[in-house]
A and B are shown apart, each in its own frame.
Chain A
Amino acid sequence: AQKVTQAQTEISVVEKEDVTLDCVYETRDTTYYLFWYKQPPSGELVFLIRRNSFDEQNEISGRYSWNFQKSTSSFNFTITASQVVDSAVYFCALTGPSGSARQLTFGSGTQLTVLP
């Protein structure tokens, strides 16, 4: 019923380059929530953003920005002027009423490596 696809398994960029991480989702719910989490080498998942399905306004937080487009079922994440500390695995996730037990359905993650 719910699925999240992160087609980019690994991305490598040089510091200061911009990079976009793609996320495409599938759900039959009309109300749902999308999330991005960051997992640095330490292993702990860090919450970055939550977006509900009725709010398509793009969001910017410092060097991070998110582009939510319901028409294409995408919720892409852009890091501007990337830094070495941005190196991590990034997960896109989805939750909604049809997902049993309120759990997050995660994509497979994108490993981002920022080279100095």
Chain B
Amino acid sequence: GAGVSQSPSNKVTEKGKDVELRCDPISGHTALYWYRQSLGQGLEFLIYFQGNSAPDKSGLPSDRFSAERTGGSVSTLTIQRTQQEDSAVYLCASSVQAGTYNEQFFGPGTRLTVL
């Protein structure tokens, strides 16, 4: 597609359940980023991929969070044993390649609500 797409757009889950969030970057973009936007924390960086590798996972808030990217395209962010504090909008972005120069293009986000 023309832009970054994310699915689902909304996800409501019960505490303790696992969830998977999907991101489809702009075609040809080798870098992919995950951010989280919540009321108390603003926009937080979680992880980025250059190709299929994630050089830095230090932004992931806990070991319940993991992400993978296959084929240099689609990425999945998985949250295990969800907690109420995981409720937020999860944003995905892509850029031509990872680098400070390149602007990142964002998807519409997935709104996660943990009951």
Contact = CB atoms under 8 A, between A and B. Distances in A.
A44 B59 contact: no
Contacts of B89: 43
A42 B91 CA distance: 13
Given A43-B89, A101-B59, A32 B108 contact: no
Contacts of B45: 101, 103-105
A111 interface: no
B27 to A, nearest CB: 18
B103 A47 contact: yes
Contacts of B106: 37, 44-47
A101 B42 CA distance: 19
Contact of B31 (A37, A44, A99, A102): A102
Contacts of B91: 45
Contact of B56 (A46, A100, A105): A100
Nearest to B57: A101
The binding surface of chain B is classed by DSSP as strand
B8 to A, nearest CB: 14
Interface string B68-102: 00000000000000000000010101000011110
Contact of A104 (B56, B104, B107, B108): B104
A68 interface: no
A100 B58 contact: yes
A106 B42 contact: yes
A108 to B, nearest CB: 5
B105 interface: yes
Q: Which 10 pairs of residues, A with B, have the shortest CB-CB distance?
A: A103-B45, A101-B56, A45-B106, A106-B43, A95-B100, A102-B98, A44-B108, A108-B42, A47-B103, A101-B48
A91 B55 CA distance: 26
A42 B31 CA distance: 24
B42 A102 contact: no
Q: Give the interface centre of B45, B56, B91 by most chain A CB atoms within 10 Å.
A: B45
Interface in B13-63: 31, 33, 35, 42-43, 45, 47-48, 55-56, 58-59
